[in-house]
């Protein structure tokens, strides 16, 4: 039986990409994690570790946005052909499962279909294995949904990228300027606003790293009014949850709906992403949402205030994120196509470390890594006890999703992806040993 299962667990995906640490809500550390898979094979390694595998063909002929809820539902079959190095497989098992005691789901996509690998259980108390339908925190990957909403509203003529943000805020809010230079919507979407990582008044008792879960619009406006810009808008890349959270809030104000309703109406309903959401039901939490892990222990996930949820408040599944990737790769065709194309356009140069020393740029929310021949588009997200990674190469129509209930300090999914892609850089993983 084991050998039969092993024969199914073979995978290959061409690509390129990496960078090592992402912005976190409990620190000021910053990096975009860039990662795409060349190969993934995960074999049966222990009777105590839960494991499942699945994949499905992608419908590349769809021409509208309806009836896609099961478009990427995985089924049993194999479309990939190579095995990952035993040492990499050993590290995955040791670091994610044995040491971190966490769970991870990885999804691959190309024009031939998708494949999903999953390991681990929901929690100590709930030993149900995770799978393609398990909900995970995706944290800052949320930012790409915020900027896609922006691109869609720009395409419809509702807003303009060059609009100053004060145009959409209450008149009594003082918006900081840099010697007369105003912050625009595009500045918020590209982390070039000059705003700091977080507003200074968001921390509980001014204790850096502990976010006030009751932070609201009144406090947000107060924090904005009391902020001094760190640089002139449109001149410098400074990763800012403050700015992206503010962008999501502004777009919600403009449309007169909550951020979750805004994303649902413009993106999720179009792509059939029925399991991507901010608020989880009790049933979700009990049966479908793993517990975050730090240093092998289960920890409580910090709560992101709803007023800045556009910076990192979404939960999603591997299946839903593969639908998202299928649209970004053009494997399905929807009314979002023009907005996605706008979102992918490079807006500014950026300094994003990567082992290949490729040129780095920022699009609307997405990081773009290029050798000036091929572009890899990517974003990562992390919060205490969790990290997630989404990356793709449009030209090759290949992509990867990896979502983990493990802390970034225990296993960096972006570094893992880079190793699996390039069959090199083992040191970036072995440092966890």
What is the residue whose two structure tokens read 């204790």?
Answer: 207
- CA angle in degrees (0–180, nearest 5) for 62-67-71: 65
Say whether pLDDT at 307 is over 90. yes
Q: Is 229 exposed, middle or buried (0-12, 13-18, 19+ CB in 10 A)?
A: middle
Greatest extent of the chain over all pairs of C-alpha atoms, in Å: 70
What is the residue whose two structure tokens read 């910090």?
Answer: 302
Of the candidates 86, 71, 407, 58, which has an alpha carbon nearest to the alpha carbon of residue 272?
Answer: 71
241 versus 430: the higher-pLDDT residue is 241
What phi-psi label fits residue 118: left (phi over 0), alpha (psi between -120 and 50 degrees) or beta?
beta
Say whether pLDDT at 58 is over 70. no
Q: Fill in the DSSP letter of residue 329.
A: T
pLDDT digits 0-9 by tens, 346-380: 999 887 665 566 788 999 999 998 888 878 888 98
Helix pair angle (142-155, 241-255), 10° resolution: 40
C-alpha 194/C-alpha 257 separation (Å) is 27
Integer-rounded Cα Rg, in Å, for the chain is 20
Q: What is the token pair recorded at 138?
A: 């995706």
CB 349 within 8 A of CB 360: yes
**Exposure letters 276-314 (e unless 16+ CB within 10 A, then b):** bbbeeeeeeeeebbbbbbbeeebeebbebbbbbbbbbbb
Q: Fill in the DSSP letter of residue 268.
A: I
Confidence (pLDDT) at 351: 76
252 versus 11: the higher-pLDDT residue is 252
Confidence (pLDDT) at 9: 31
CATH 3.40.710.10 fits 146-259, yes or no: yes
Confidence (pLDDT) at 419: 60
Q: How many CB atoms lie within 10 A of CB 413?
A: 28
pLDDT digits 0-9 by tens, 12-34: 332 333 333 333 333 333 333 33
User: What is the rounded average pLDDT of the residues 230-257?
Assistant: 97
Q: Is 213 exposed, middle or buried (0-12, 13-18, 19+ CB in 10 A)?
A: exposed
The domain limits of the chain are 2-138+291-304+312-430, 146-259
Average pLDDT, the chain: 79
What is the residue whose two structure tokens read 């890594």?
Answer: 369
C-alpha 86/C-alpha 423 separation (Å) is 11
Say whether pLDDT at 49 is over 90. no
Q: What is the token pair recorded at 291?
A: 């517990």
Confidence (pLDDT) at 218: 97
Confidence (pLDDT) at 357: 67
C-alpha 71/C-alpha 332 separation (Å) is 10
C-alpha 265/C-alpha 259 separation (Å) is 10
Of the candidates 115, 109, 2, which has an alpha carbon nearest to the alpha carbon of residue 49?
Answer: 2
Q: What one-character-per-residue DSSP string does 133-174 give?
A: T--EE-GGGHHHHHHHHHHHHHHTTS--TT-BGGGGS-TTPP
C-alpha distances in angstroms, 376 versus 62, 186, 323, 328, 405?
25, 21, 18, 12, 25
Confidence (pLDDT) at 83: 41
pLDDT digits 0-9 by tens, 250-304: 999 999 999 999 999 999 999 999 999 999 999 999 999 999 999 999 999 888 9
Of the candidates 73, 72, 8, 75, which has an alpha carbon nearest to the alpha carbon of residue 40?
Answer: 8
């Amino acid at each position: 039986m084991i050998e039969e299962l092993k024969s199914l667990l073979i995978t290959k995906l061409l690509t390129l990409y990496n960078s090592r640490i992402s912005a976190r809500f409990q620190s000021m550390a910053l990096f975009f994690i860039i990662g795409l898979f060349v190969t993934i094979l995960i074999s049966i390694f222990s009777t105590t570790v839960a494991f499942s595998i699945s994949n499905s063909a992608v419908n590349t002929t769809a021409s509208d946005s309806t009836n896609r809820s099961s478009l990427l539902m995985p089924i049993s079959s194999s479309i990939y052909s190579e095995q990952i190095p035993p040492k990499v497989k050993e590290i995955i098992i040791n670091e994610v499962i044995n040491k971190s005691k966490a769970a991870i789901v990885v999804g691959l996509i190309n024009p031939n279909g998708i494949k999903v690998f999953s390991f681990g259980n929901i929690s100590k108390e709930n030993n149900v294995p995770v799978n393609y339908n398990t909900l995970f925190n995706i944290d800052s990957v949320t930012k790409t949904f915020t900027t896609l909403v922006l691109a869609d509203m720009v395409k419809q003529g509702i807003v303009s990228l060059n609009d100053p943000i004060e145009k959409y805020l209450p008149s009594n809010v003082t918006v900081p300027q840099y010697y007369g230079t105003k912050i625009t919507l595009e500045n918020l979407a590209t982390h070039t606003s000059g705003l700091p990582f977080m507003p200074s008044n968001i921390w509980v008792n001014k204790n850096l790293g502990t976010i006030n879960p009751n932070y609201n619009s009144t406090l947000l406006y107060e924090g904005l009014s009391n902020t001094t810009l760190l640089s002139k808008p449109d001149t410098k890349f400074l990763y800012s949850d403050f700015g992206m959270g503010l962008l999501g809030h502004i777009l919600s104000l403009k449309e007169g709906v909550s951020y979750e309703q805004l994303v649902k109406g413009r993106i999720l309903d179009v792509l059939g992403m029925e399991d991507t959401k901010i608020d989880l039901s009790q049933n979700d939490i009990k049966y479908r949402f793993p517990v975050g892990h730090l240093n092998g222990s289960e920890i409580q996930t910090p709560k992101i205030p709803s007023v800045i949820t556009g910076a990192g408040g979404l939960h999603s599944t591997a299946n839903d994120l593969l639908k998202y990737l299928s649209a970004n790769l053009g494997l399905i065709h929807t009314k979002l196509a023009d907005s996605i194309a706008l979102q992918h356009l490079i807006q500014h140069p950026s300094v994003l470390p990567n082992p290949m020393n490729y040129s780095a740029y920022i699009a609307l929310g997405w990081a773009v890594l290029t050798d000036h021949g091929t572009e890899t588009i990517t974003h990562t997200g992390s919060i205490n006890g969790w990290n997630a990674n989404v990356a793709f190469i449009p030209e090759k129509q290949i992509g990867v999703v990896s979502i983990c209930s493990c802390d970034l300090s225990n296993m960096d999914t972006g570094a893992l992806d880079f190793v699996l892609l390039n069959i090199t850089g083992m040191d970036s993983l072995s440092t966890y040993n």
